[in-house]
Amino acid sequence: MKKNILLGLISILVIGLLAACGTTKDEGADNGQAAEGEAETKVLTVGTSADYPPFEYIDTAQGDDIIGLDVDIANAIADKLGYELEFTDTTFDGIIAALQTGKFDLVISAVTPDEDRRKNADFTDIYYVANNMIISNKDSGITSIEDLEGKVVGAQLGSVQEDEANSLAETVDITIESRSRVPELIQEILIGNFDAVIIEDTVAQGYFKSNDNLSGFTLEGDEEGYAIAFPKGSDLTEEFDSALKEMKEDGELEKLIVKWFGGEE
């Protein structure tokens, strides 16, 4: 009798274990099917030089994230196309070279697609147009290009503003000094090492607001446009360009510009 009871208990236990194993297998199969059915979101690496507010910068009072117009534009396009973006802060002067070597899938960092850069990267259409400015201390007496004669002029290393400084040097006797980051340029003015610097006008406005000692003037006819850069032959170029054009047509791009610049482009 006891033997029969024991065998019965063992049978119930074995059946229960088999049922449990069967359930686990089924659940695993279901999970596997769900995973196969879900498309993986591709993560793209993005290079940017986060020292250029309001295009890309880090507001340390708010956190460690890179924010700005360029970040919003890139994320908006990525959302349309089903990508996720991973931003990396780097120096501007080496950003296209890093793109070429495969460190980044794309670069968005207020990059002007000039002739030299087009030899090494592919670009979308222009998404923002700006002008360059000469910035100096208010008491410097510098109000025109002629006033730069004999002065030390700073520009960001590897930028179109550095190219502009070299062009000015052909007609005006100036000494050009370059720095990797824009805040370094402003600091050199404030401590008296530079007489003036060349930076983009929208970026300059931010420094005017935070420092009453600075002033500047726009270089007429020196309009620059910004575009997103990709490695040569990248399939992403056409995808991002098409999405960017949609943002222009439906007003989404203009809304982002208004968000960061108050409607002034």
The CATH T-level fold of domain 131-224 is D-Maltodextrin-Binding Protein; domain 2 (3.40.190)
What is the DSSP annotation of 122-157? EE----EEEEEEEEEEGGG---SGGGGTT-EEEEET
> For the segment 154-197, what is each residue's pLDDT rounded down to a tens digit?
999 999 999 999 999 999 999 999 999 999 999 999 999 999 99
Give the separation between CA 5 and CA 230, rounded to whole angstroms: 75
Q: Do domains 42-129+225-261 and 131-224 have the same CATH topology?
A: yes
Q: Three-class SS of residue 108?
A: strand
The answer to whether 132 touches 154, Cβ cutoff 8 Å, is: no
Q: Which amino acid is at 54?
A: P
| Nearest residue to 245 via CA among 231, 263, 227, 225 | 227
- Structural class in CATH, domain 42-129+225-261: alpha beta
Burial of 13 (0-12, 13-18, 19+ CB in 10 A): exposed
With the CA atoms of 141, 144, 147 and 149 taken in that order, what torsion angle do they form, in degrees rounded to the nearest 10?
150
Give the separation between CA 255 and CA 258, rounded to whole angstroms: 5
Task: Determine the pLDDT at residue 38.
Answer: 58
The answer to whether 161 touches 200, Cβ cutoff 8 Å, is: yes
Q: Residue 177's beta-bridge partner residues? A: 154
Domain boundaries, the chain: 42-129+225-261, 131-224
Q: Residue 205's CB: how many other CB atoms inside 10 A? A: 17
Q: What residues contact residue 137 under an 8 Å CB cut-off, 6+ apart?
A: 189, 190, 213, 214, 215
Task: Determine the pLDDT at residue 36.
Answer: 53
Give the separation between CA 160 and CA 74, rounded to whole angstroms: 22
> For the segment 92-149, what is each residue's pLDDT rounded down to a tens digit?
999 999 999 999 999 999 999 999 999 999 999 999 998 999 999 999 999 999 999 9
* pTM exceeding the 0.85 threshold for the entire prediction: no
Give the separation between CA 47 and CA 62, rounded to whole angstroms: 21
Strands (E), 38-96: 42-48, 51-52, 56-58, 66-67, 83-89
> For the segment 203-252, what is each residue's pLDDT rounded down to a tens digit?
999 999 999 999 999 998 767 899 999 999 999 999 999 999 999 999 99
> For the segment 52-92, what is each residue's pLDDT rounded down to a tens digit?
999 999 999 999 999 999 999 999 999 999 999 999 999 99
Q: What residues contact residue 185 under an 8 Å CB cut-off, 6+ apart?
A: 154, 155, 156, 179, 194, 197, 199
- For the segment 3-17, the average pLDDT, to the nearest whole number, is 44
